[in-house]
Amino acid sequence: MKETKYSICGMCAVRCPVTVQVENGKPIWIEGNSHDGGMGRSLCAKGGAAFAQRLDRQRPTAPLLRRGQRGEGEWREASWDEAFDYITTRLNPIIAEHGGRAIMFSDRGGPFADLRQAFVKALGSPNYINHDCTCGRNVHHASKSVYGLGRKDFAYDYENARHIVLFGRNITESLKVKEVKSFLRGIKNGARVTYIDPRASVTAGKASRYWQIKPGTDYALLLGIAHCIVANNYYDTDFVEKYVNGLAEFKAFLTPYTPEWAAGETGIAASEIETFCRELNEDRPKVIIHPGWMLARYRDSFHASRMIHILNALMGSIEQPGGLFYPKGPKDAGKSGLKSLAALVPAVNEERADGCGSRYPQWDKGAGMLQTAYEAIDSGVPYPVKAYFVHRHNPFIAMPDTKEQRRILDKLDLIVAVDVNFSETAWFADVILPENTFLERDSILRTEKGLKPGFGRRQQCVKPLNNTKAGWEIYVELAKRLGKGDCFPFNSIEDIWQYQLQDTGLSVSDFEAKGFVKLSDKAIWFDRDKLKFGTETGKIELVNQKWEAMGVPSLPPYVAPEGPPEGSFRLLFGRNGYQAHGMHHNNPILCDLLDVNKLWINTAAAKKLGIKDGDQVRVTAGDEQGTIAAYVTDLIHPEAVFMLHGFGSDVPAKKRSFGHGLADQMFMQGKLKEWDKAGGGLNLAECFVTVTPV
C-alpha cells in the first residue's frame, strides 16, 4: 500500500515542510511539500539524505549507559526501563539536596521547544537554555534594544527588494530553501545585492557588489555608511520623524565616522561607500540590510547588528513590501493560538544559574546563555548545578575550546544526552537516550508565523527501525517517573495535539490534507501609519535609555580590532549547503560529497610562507595543532584563514568521519570566556592561528 504523508524535515534547524511517500511501511520518496507554494518540491541535500540517516547504524540505536570513564566510549546497551531508572535514581537525590534548579537543559530552540521547556519547568528548574550564544543572540538583543522586538519579529521580502545587503549572511550556503528561492527571484526581478565578507562564499558569486572587508571591521563600515546616509539626507524623513527617537544624538555621534575614515579601517574605498549609499537612497524603502543570522563572531557584533537595525529604520523599510515585515501570528488573523504546554506547569521563581535577567539584566531569560551557565557549573555560584540534559545539541563543537568544556562538564553528577546521532557531546554523557529520526517521530504542533500565519505538523511517517523513542515520549515518561505526571496529562501525541488545538476551532484531522493549516487566505500587512514597537516609548530607539541603564551604551565609539600577530591569521569558519553543524558529516551519502575540510588562505599570504595550493600545512594555536591541505585563493582576505565547520570529529563510532579534517573550535583556547558583553554571543571569530608549511 502506498501512502503520502506530510511532515516537517528535521535534518537541520530550518525544518522545511516535506512530503514523504511510504510503501508497505518503507519510505520510498521524499520531496518538498508542494502545497507550500514557496517551497514547491524542492529539497536540499540534507533533506535528501534523510533515508540514509535512518538506515545508518553508526548512530545510537538503543539506550546506552556509560561503562568506562566519561568520553572513553565504553557503552552498554540498556532497556528503556533501565535507562529511565538510571536517570531517576541519580536525579532524585540531586533534587532532594540541591533543588530542581540544580538541573539544566540545553537544546537548539525552534518551534517544538515548548514541550522541553515544560519538562524543565516541571522539574522546578529555571535553567532551560538554547544554543543561541553561538548563533543569533547578538542579533536578537540588538533588535530588542532598537525596536523592543526580537530578531524573529522581522522577516524579509527578498523577492520584491531593490537592494539586498548581506554582512556575511551567506544565504546560498547557510541554506533555507524558501529563503534562497525568494532571494534568487529578487535577483531575477532586478535587485542589487551587496555582499560583505572577508571570504567570498557562493553568495558573493550571486552579488552585484562584493566587498572583501578587513575581518572584524563591520561596525566601522556601518558607521561610515550611517554617516554618509545622515549627512546627505539619504533617509526616509517621514518614517524617521514619525517613528524614530534620537536622530540628533545619532547625527552628532556619527560626525567623526566619515566614509574616508571607514575606508582606513575596513579597506573599502570611500568612493565605493558613497556610491553604495547613493544607491540605497534610490532603492529605499525596498531595501533589506540583513541584521545577521549567526552573528556570534566579534566582540562588537551586537553593535554592528544594532547599526544594521538602525539603518533599516532609516531606509523606512519596516513593514514594507521589498523590505522587512512582521511575521504575523494567529492573533493577527483574528484567531487563537496553540495552547502552551509549559502553561500547564507551575511557575518557577528561581534566579537563573546563567544570570540572564539578574547578573546580566539585559539578556532575555527565555533562551538563557550557555557559557555563563558553564561558569555556574564550574564555580557553584549562584548555586550548584549538578545535572545536564543536552537535547540534540552539540556544545562540544558549537562552543569554543572543547577541552575546557570537558573539564567543566566533568564536575556534573549526571549528563543525559538525547540525540539521533553520536554527537561529540553525547559521547561524553553518562546516558544516551536515542531519539527517533524525524521520519520516525511525531512532534508537538508548531506555529508558523508569516504573512499568512498558520500551524504545521510533523508526523511519524514510518515506524522506528531501532529501539528509539520520540522526544515527547522520552520527556513525558521521565516527568511521570519523577512524580510530575500531573503536568503532562497526556497518553499519546494525539492527546497533546488536541490540547494544543483546544482554542483554535481546529481538529487534528485538519492537518491531513496538506500537513499545515493556514489561518488567513490573504497576506496580512499592518497599517504603516499605525506601527507599534516594543520599546518603552513605542518608538524605534537609536539611543535606548533602558539599555543604557543596564550598562549597554547605545552608540559606543569604535575600537579597532586587534590585528593578527606577524605570521598569524584570524581563524574564520562557516558551512556549505550540504553539511550543517557537524550533524551530517558521517551521513553515508553526505560524507561522500565532502569528507575532509581545507584551509583557505590568501594567495599573497601563502606565497610569503612558501605554501602552494594543495600543500599540507600545520595550523597551531597554543598547544593545539593539526595538519590540513591548503586551498590557496584570492577569495579570502590576507589577514584571515577559513575552514568549514564540523570536521575533525573525535568520536570513533562515526567511522566515515572520525579524524577527518580539522575542528575550528579546538583552536579557540580560552575563548569560552570571551563574548560580546552587550549581546552575549561568543566571539567565535576572535581567534588567531599560525600556519606553517609541513
Contacting residues toward other proteins, per CB under 8 A: 31-32, 40-45, 47-49, 51-52, 172-173, 175, 177, 180-181, 184, 187-188, 200-202, 204-210, 577-578, 588-590, 592-593, 633-635
Q: Give min distance, CB of 210 to other proteins, in A.
A: 6
Point out which residues pair with 166 in neighbouring strands: 195, 290
C-alpha cell recorded at residue 575: 558551512
The neighbour count for residue 455, using CB atoms within 10 Å, is 24
Distance CA 644, CA 593 (A): 13
C-alpha cell recorded at residue 302: 551586537
499, containing H or E segment: helix 493-501
Distance CA 186, CA 162 (A): 8
Type of residue found at 625? Q
Nearer to other proteins, 133 or 177 (CB): 177
Q: Give min distance, CB of 605 to other proteins, in A.
A: 14
Nearer to other proteins, 201 or 425 (CB): 201
Q: Give min distance, CB of 21 to other proteins, in A.
A: 12
Q: Give min distance, CB of 222 to other proteins, in A.
A: 22
The neighbour count for residue 155, using CB atoms within 10 Å, is 16
Q: Give min distance, CB of 38 to other proteins, in A.
A: 12
Tallying the residues shown for the chain, one arrives at: 694
C-alpha cell recorded at residue 587: 551521513
Nearer to other proteins, 180 or 619 (CB): 180
Q: Give min distance, CB of 226 to other proteins, in A.
A: 25
Distance CA 391, CA 194 (A): 37
Q: Which pairing describes strands 244-245 and 287-290: parallel, antiparallel, or unpaired?
A: unpaired
Nearer to other proteins, 32 or 323 (CB): 32
Nearer to other proteins, 42 or 61 (CB): 42
Query: Of 459, 468, 490, nearest to 477 (Cα)?
Result: 490
Distance CA 191, CA 158 (A): 8
Q: Give min distance, CB of 471 to other proteins, in A.
A: 25
C-alpha cell recorded at residue 134: 553561538
Nearer to other proteins, 309 or 584 (CB): 584
HSE value, Cβ hemisphere, 13 Å, CA-based, for 72: 10
450 within 8 A of 518, measured Cβ to Cβ: no
Nearer to other proteins, 6 or 427 (CB): 6
Q: Give min distance, CB of 394 to other proteins, in A.
A: 22
Q: Give min distance, CB of 155 to other proteins, in A.
A: 19
Distance CA 553, CA 557 (A): 10
Nearer to other proteins, 32 or 246 (CB): 32
C-alpha cell recorded at residue 204: 558573493
Nearer to other proteins, 147 or 195 (CB): 195
Point out which residues pair with 280 in neighbouring strands: none
